[in-house]
Amino acid sequence: MLTVTRLQEQLRPVRRAVESAAGLPNVLYNDPAGFELEKQQIFHRTWACIGVANDVPEPGDAKPIDFLGMPLLLVRDHDGALRLFQNVCRHRGMILIDAPRKLKGVIRCPYHSWCYNLNGSLRATPHVGGPGINEHCDVPADQLGLLEVRMGVFLDAVFADVSGHAAPFEEFIAPLKARWSEFADQPLYHGGQESRFTLDIASNWKLAVENYCESYHLPWVHPGLNSYSRLEDHYNIFAPDDAAHAPGDFSGQGTLVYAPQFEGEAPMPNFGGLSDVWDRSAEYIALFPNVLFGVHRDHVYSIRLEPVSHGRTREHIEIYYTTPEAATSDERASTRRKNAALWKDIFIEDIGVVEGMQQGRGALGFDGGKFSPVMDAPTHRFHAWVAAQLS
Amino acid sequence: MTTREAIAVHTLADEALDQAIIAQHAADPVDLTALSALYREGAQRARDRAAARFALTHAWVLALEAGDARSIAELERELRACGGLAPPRS
């Protein structure tokens, strides 16, 4: 059972240096109260990933998002701008849109037909003053627009601050944007339906992050990588010290031997203007709390972690390429399929250990674990970040 | 369409128009522009001002949903003319 006092005691050793730190306590993995606390203190308090801009590619596209119980609506307005609102009518609190759809005009509430422009302003209040009387002095339309939610986009991932009080998105994303400055403003082209998939994992969302940001497990869980990306070819990645434990913090791992080869397939085109270091390097970073990125000279992917419950997470994977031809042509379809299949196989290989750690959190005596200062430092960085948000 | 809506519609116009409106509501997908036009026709045939305002309101909402800018402008003029909307602020 979670108590605030006990939790604070348990978080203190997490925030020690990695050499002497313990991991996060079991209550944050197997207790609904821990999940609820993280919802309040992390997901609804700072920037978190809630979707991708590719979810609404065309003007008029609208997609409802359930963000840990907060109903959101991602919209591409008729001018092509991306907007994020609370998906609720200002009248009686009805959900406005319950499934992805294309809007030709306004958003019409299905309850009493209040209508909203796609910029959120209230356009019509039919019969509000009686049958056929469509205005009322006590229902000021200019004060009843949709509640807009602060939003930012990075590598097509859409971030939301539902609290309205987080530091500006530009500050949040600055550390990762600086590290990946050569990718940050590159045009990305989604590879289509074959380049997106979802995995349903019977584990807490944090375990997916913990596993992703370290290379220690690669030789055992992904033996297929041993032939071309050995453990010694990997290195740890951390956000700069001044971002440690703050919103915008990240950790991960990189490889010095990215060398994609699909039999019978020509190489995919590279992003323009990359420095030589990316000829053979690739990096895999977890941007806390809930999005995992992979950048390569010829493609980028994101894995958005959707926490469903304390013991269940959905991973939403999206793969992007460097040119429209690479992303959509029939000629490159085979390569896209093989690349998506490769990543899907790798991410599926992780499921067993991630779900196994979830099961292990049922062990009453497990104290959160012990970190290798060399191999587990990125994982500890994440644990310490979570502990800081909950302290 | 619910029974009440059908009764409301029947106060507007003749049986043929009622049936056309009911059929369009039941279509999948609904043709918003066509349905808006049917309500507008019902408003023109309405037996009194209140019934006309009611039908125009429905035509207007459907035009808004369809994004039919020309019909929206025309319907708002008609609604203002019969007291369904206030005059625009100058």
Distance, CA of A156 to chain centre: 10
Sequence-distant (6+) residues with CB within 8 A of B33 are B62, B63, B66, B68, B71
Give the model's confidence band at A262: pLDDT under 50 very low, under 70 low, under 90 confident, else very high. confident
Mean pLDDT value of segment A149-170: 97
Is 80 exceeded by the pLDDT of residue A2? no
Question: pLDDT (tens digit, 9 = 90+) per residue, A220-244?
Answer: 998 887 777 788 889 999 999 999 9
Residue B8: predicted pLDDT: 53
Cα separation of A54 and A105, whole Å? 21
Average pLDDT along chain A: 95
ipTM: 0.88
Please answer yes or no on whether A132 and B65 come within 8 Å at the CB atom.
Answer: no
Q: Tell me the pTM.
A: 0.94
Please answer yes or no on whether A126 and B60 come within 8 Å at the CB atom.
Answer: yes
Query: Over A197-262, what HEC string results?
Result: EEEEECCCHHHHHHHHCCCCCHHHHCHHHHHCCCHHHEEEEECCHHHCCCCCCEEEEEECCCCCCC
- DSSP-based three-state secondary structure for A122: strand
Question: pLDDT (tens digit, 9 = 90+) per residue, A88-121?
Answer: 999 999 999 999 999 999 999 999 999 999 999 9
A126 to chain B: nearest residue by CA? B57
Mean pLDDT value of segment A125-145: 97
Residue A117: predicted pLDDT: 98
Question: pLDDT (tens digit, 9 = 90+) per residue, A273-304?
Answer: 999 999 999 999 999 999 999 999 999 999 99
Give the model's confidence band at A66: pLDDT under 50 very low, under 70 low, under 90 confident, else very high. very high
Give me the total of CB pairs closer than 8 Å, taking one residue from chain A and one from chain B. Answer: 56
10-residue stretch averages of pLDDT, chain B, 90 residues long = 53 77 92 95 92 96 97 96 86
CA distances from A120 to A34, A102, A317, B76, B86 (A): 35, 16, 29, 20, 22
Give the whole-number percent of chain A exceeding pLDDT 70.
Answer: 100
Cα separation of A334 and A267, whole Å? 12
Residues of B in contact with A108 (CB under 8 A): 61, 64-65
Give the whole-number percent of chain A exceeding pLDDT 90.
Answer: 92
Please answer yes or no on whether A124 and B64 come within 8 Å at the CB atom.
Answer: yes
Residue B9: predicted pLDDT: 53
